[in-house]
Structure formats: C-alpha cells, structure tokens
Amino acid sequence: MMALDDVRILDLSRLAPGPFCSMLLADLGADVLLIEPPSDSKAAQGAGFGTGTEPYNALGRNKKSIVLNLREQDARDVFYKLLESADVVLEGFRPGVVKRLGVDYETLKAKNPRIVYCSLSGYGQTGPYAEMVGHDINYISVGGALGMIGWPGQPPAIPMNIIADFAGGGLHAAYAILAALHARDRLGEGQYVDIAMSDGVLYLLASSVSTYMMTGRAPGRGDFALNGALPQYNVYECSDGGWISLGSLEGHFWVNLCKALDREDFIPYQMDGSKRDEVFAHFRGKFKTKTRDEWFEILKQTDICVAPVYSLEEALEDPHNVARDMVVEIDHPEAGKVKQVGIGTKLSATPGSVRFTAPTPGQNTDEVLSSIGYDADRIASLREKGIVG
C-alpha cells in the first residue's frame, strides 16, 4: 500500500512547476497520466518533447503518458472518458487556454462533480497580472523575495528557480490538492484550486511579512539577521576557494564560535553592532587559514551551526544525503542503471518509491485507451487521424 495509490490524476501541465507537483504525488503512489500534445505542436516543443532524456527525468517518473490532440473533439471525448475515474486534473496553461480546449473546470465539473481541478500559473486566474507571462525571476520579484536577496549596494542575487517554480508553485500546488481531496471526503464534491506562483512566494515570506507588519522595517539586501547582516550567520571563503556557512544565532552557539576562532573577547558583542566590522574582518581572515573541509571537520565537533557550501555534485555525494536515500538508482530497459533524486517525504507505514522512469510521449496510449473500452481497430483509427499518438 502507498499513501496515494487510490488517487488518479490527469496531468495537462508542461513546464517544471506542474510536473514537479505531480511527481511529488506520484512518488507517494498516485496514478498520474500525462496528457501530452502531438509532437508537432508548439506546446510539445516547449516541453522538450522527444528529447530522449526520459531515464534521467525525475519530473516524469512514476507516470504514464498518452498523446491527445485536444483541439479535436474525438480527443476531448477520450479525455472525458478518462475523467470518469479521475480524482484530480492539473493544468499549467495561461488563463483561458483550457476553456478553448474544452477541458476547463466548469465543463469537467458538470461531468464529474467530485473532480479536484488545480490551475497552476504565474499570477493566478484573477487580478491585474493574470494575463501576463512570466518566469520564476518575475514571480519572486513581484512576491518580494528577490529584493531581499544579495548584498547591500549590489544588484539582487538571482537564485536558481527554486523559490517560485518549485516551492511557491509545485510544492504549494501539491499541498493544496491534498487539502482539497481531504475536503472532498467530508463535503462529497471536488473544488477548484487556483495556485499562483507569485502568491506562493509571498506565502513563503510569512515570517518576514509578520516582522514587517510588527516593526515597519522590511529586510533589505544583506541588512537583516537572516540574509547577511550578522557575521555569525554568513558564508566565508576558505584557503582552497571553498566556502563555509555559519548559522550560530543563539547565544551558546555564538560563544562556542568565538572560542573556536580564538576571539573570546567578541562574546559580549553578539548583537552589538559596534564591533561588527572587526568581527567580520577577523572571521574572513581566520577562515582563509584552512580549507573548507578542514574547517568543517574542526567545527562540526563543537556545538556550532556550520556546514560546507556544496556544489550540486558534492551534495549528491555527501554521506548524509546518501544515507537519507536522497540519491536513488533505478533500472531502465535501455539506459541501464540511472540515478535520480530520492524522495524527500519519509512515511513510515506507506513510504513512497520510484517505481519506474519517465515515459516517452504516448508510451501508454494503447494501454490507457484499452482500459476505458477502446478496441485495437478504434485505437488504430484514432492514431491514423492524429487524434492520439
């Protein structure tokens, strides 16, 4: 048994946030069917259709695929048939697209009132920006995150597309879908879920917003306790060019840090800015005397919040991440053994698993159509007409 093995999802999404959302649910057992466009469509080109990277594509794992040309009524009829046994529909188009394709919430709700329908978009379905295009960098700008990342007097530091696409988008959507499914068990019907990545970014800043509302002071770049203002919550370059991160905010961690760096005289000045520049200067000089890994070995043996700043390659090899099964090896019929990111959600009774790698587009078309009553001749006819693929 898996936690979500009684949940069926029709996934119309293309770019990273939607596929990450359905990957999270599929990893916990959900039956996810990708509804993919024909290979000659603009949507397919945007999704990297047919790139041959499926064995390594974690965002597509544990899913099946059918190609449907939803511009055609026969394809929409197939979708409606699949809808009968579905619990969730996930889409990531710009507002209005699903209406034109005939797979919008109102249309599908009339056919299956229990459906949970999630629209995942940049700015949501309402508001002045709803029709605007965008990407992660734009959503973290509007959501207020980008403006507080970086160092004073320098341009905002652009992070990888983790905050909006994956956290404010995909993770936020997965959590909302599960909440809507739980509500359905109590109410007896599904509902519409409108997820905006810009909303998700601002939601992630709940603590910062609370501080601002209370004090009237918003975190600027590098001037807040958690974004660079404190010597004890910062990063330092080491003798080998590697970087070490400190997070010693609490008093006892600060005391241990000062002792480890041979400056016990700094202890009374933990939150006193009068020696801030002197502390920074000493820390910067001290960390330049040893390599990153040497410092990590020394400091992790004391009660100090410390960690090496890893590249992605190093993170994948770190013994803790490996011990936590955050790198898994999967068998692929053609590529052999491939490695992917593991499953972050650890459940004791109903654990998730990587059961199979991402499908090629349309890999499961015949299987899926057969399961809803289409015989071989009819499937062949639909394929010849370009309805399915």
Ordered DSSP codes for 335-378: TEEEEEE------SSS-----S-PPPTTTTHHHHHHHTT--HHH
Interior/surface letters 60-97, b for 16+ CB within 10 angstroms, e for the rest: bbbbbbbbbbbebeebbebbebbbeebbbbbbbbebeb
CA 175 from centroid of its chain's CA atoms: 11
Q: Tell me, what amino acid is at 294?
A: E
Q: How far is residue 141's CA from residue 167's CA, in Å, rounded to a whole number?
A: 15
Which CA distances in Å does 94 have to 90, 146, 206? 13, 23, 27
Phi, psi of 82, deg, nearest 5: -65, -35
Q: How far is residue 50's CA from residue 371's CA, in Å, rounded to a whole number?
A: 25
Q: How many residues does the chain have?
A: 389
Which CA distances in Å does 204 have to 10, 264, 371? 27, 37, 41
Q: Which of 216, 257, 249 is nearest to 233 (CA)?
A: 249
What the block records as the tokens of 166 is: 């994956």
Catalytic residues: 135, 165
Q: How far is residue 78's CA from residue 387's CA, in Å, rounded to a whole number?
A: 9
What the block records as the tokens of 55 is: 């064995």
Which CA distances in Å does 82 have to 9, 89, 202, 294, 315? 10, 11, 36, 58, 41
Q: How far is residue 274's CA from residue 252's CA, in Å, rounded to a whole number?
A: 20
Q: How far is residue 176's CA from residue 191's CA, in Å, rounded to a whole number?
A: 11
Q: What are the helix and strand counts (H, E) for the chain?
A: 16, 11
